[in-house]
Structure 1
């Protein structure tokens, strides 16, 4: 349950009783509601017919002003208009100071002890810190006491009732916040699009560089493979062998008179002794 829902639920019994309350009964209802523990919203109570009629009742009009004070005002407002308002009891005084603290905390996130003491009419720091701690425990605000710097650091604060005269200002503020939020969203979209384009460009450049590298490697591999083919398979000029057989007689040259040809590379066929040669024969063999 949210704080606002919780506070509204605590007001519900007074709303039920107020439907039929008029005059003195309605004034008594206002006194009870403003003093009741945990009741911090009063806008719906102000809308009841019996309570509305109090502002035109000479005997009880101050009760209506008191309820307006607790709904929208602060403790300094009470001090400034004390003569036209009923006297506050201890519970009402503490509650109004809590509500005043909420109003101050909604305006700034750093509140000095000096400012709070002046606005809440609290004479000592010890009393001020006790009041702040009590407000925190009642879920009126979330914050931290900075005793070193003598200040209250506000993180969040509950909302108070808003008078009808200020509704338009609030709507304008919300509209402005909506425009700012829309602008922030658009800026984020543009930034995200720029980042995506940058990543796409980088990816494109990586692919391009890889393709170029593959082409270079393929070309180098083909060039190296062609050179090996020429040396190993092409059959260069060094593969040719010439065997010249000079004419010889049976008793002429040869080795030990066996009648081998004059060229040192010529050999007899296997199993033969003398191999006759045709005179003038010249053989060119290719291996």
Structure 2
């Protein structure tokens, strides 16, 4: 459930009773509504004819102003115009301070204790924190008490009644917000389109890189295979060359051995022939 959405139902009994209440009874109804526990919105009651008539009565006009105070304004406004308003009870003062907290929270996210103490005419931080805690339990705002920094950090707040003469300003603010939001969405769409294009380009670049890497690796492997094959052919050629050299050496040695055999045979023949001697004649 959204914050404060249940509060409108708390006003319904007073709306029903106001249809038959006029004059002093309507004024008493305003006092009761502004004092009732859990009633923090009053716009629907303000619009009713019997309540509107109070603004035209000199005797009861101050009660219509009282209802406007609780619907639209803050405790500071009460201090400035208290002479034109009925005297508030402690319960009404506490409720008006709660509503003032809501108004401050609608304007700023960080509420310094010093500002709140002054605006709400509270003397101690303990009393201020108790007031804020009560408002949180009443589900009219949410936030965090920061005692170290002496401030209240607003997370969420209910909405207050909107004055009729401020509807135009709210509409202009909504139009500005819509225009700003549209510009932000357009910028985000452009960014997303750019990121999408970059993603596609990076994917294509990565694919090209993988393709080139695969081609290079394939070429390197083929080159390595070619080098190994060439090395094997070189080793086979070297072995054949050494074998031919060995055969040539053996062929050169054979004539020498044959020559040695012939020389030995010739020597033997010479030794076997008888020597002829010639005698000298005198």
Structure 1 and Structure 2 fold alike (TM over 0.5)? yes
3-state SS of paired residue (1:81) = helix
Aligned counterparts of 2:124 and 2:213: Cα–Cα separation in 1: 79
Aligned counterparts of 1:163 and 1:49: Cα–Cα separation in 2: 17
Moved more, 132-141 or 147-156: 147-156
Match of 1:120 in 2: 120
* CA gap 1:146/1:218 in 2 versus in 1, 3 angstroms: closer
Aligned counterparts of 2:70 and 2:214: Cα–Cα separation in 1: 80
* CA gap 1:199/1:14 in 2 versus in 1, 3 angstroms: same
Aligned counterparts of 2:151 and 2:44: Cα–Cα separation in 1: 34
**CA radius of gyration, larger in:** 2
Displacement after TM superposition at 1:215 (Å): 3.1
Correspondences of 1:83-98 after superposition (within 5 Å): 83-98=83-98
Moved more, 195-204 or 58-67: 195-204
3-state SS of paired residue (1:106) = helix
Correspondences of 1:196-207 after superposition (within 5 Å): 196-207=196-207
Aligned counterparts of 2:95 and 2:33: Cα–Cα separation in 1: 11
CA contact (8 A) 2:140 2:157 kept: yes
Displacement after TM superposition at 1:224 (Å): 6.0
Cα displacement string for residues 58-108 of structure 1 (whole angstroms, at most 9, x for unaligned residues) = 111111000000000111111111111111111111101111111112111
Q: Relative CO higher for 1 or 2, CA cutoff 8 Å, sep ≥ 6?
A: 2
Aligned counterparts of 1:2 and 1:144: Cα–Cα separation in 2: 18
Match of 1:153 in 2: 153
CA contact (8 A) 2:3 2:141 kept: no
Match of 1:76 in 2: 76
* CA gap 1:206/1:40 in 2 versus in 1, 3 angstroms: same
Structure 1, unmatched stretches of 5+, are: 240-287
How many residues are aligned here? 245
3-state SS of paired residue (1:101) = helix
Q: Does 1:189 align with 2:189?
A: yes
Displacement after TM superposition at 1:220 (Å): 4.8
Displacement after TM superposition at 1:4 (Å): 3.1
Aligned counterparts of 2:221 and 2:114: Cα–Cα separation in 1: 84
Displacement after TM superposition at 1:34 (Å): 0.3
Aligned counterparts of 1:82 and 1:127: Cα–Cα separation in 2: 23
Aligned counterparts of 1:43 and 1:208: Cα–Cα separation in 2: 68
* CA gap 1:109/1:221 in 2 versus in 1, 3 angstroms: closer
* CA gap 1:217/1:128 in 2 versus in 1, 3 angstroms: closer
3-state SS of paired residue (1:17) = helix
Match of 1:215 in 2: 215
Cα displacement string for residues 121-158 of structure 1 (whole angstroms, at most 9, x for unaligned residues) = 11222211211111111111112222222222222211
Match of 1:170 in 2: 170
3-state SS of paired residue (1:152) = strand
3-state SS of paired residue (2:96) = helix
TM-score, normalised via structure 1 length: 0.76
Q: Does 1:34 align with 2:72?
A: no
* CA gap 1:214/1:81 in 2 versus in 1, 3 angstroms: same
Displacement after TM superposition at 1:13 (Å): 0.7
Displacement after TM superposition at 1:214 (Å): 3.2
Aligned counterparts of 1:91 and 1:33: Cα–Cα separation in 2: 11
Match of 1:140 in 2: 140
Moved more, 73-82 or 140-149: 140-149
Correspondences of 1:251-266 after superposition (within 5 Å): none
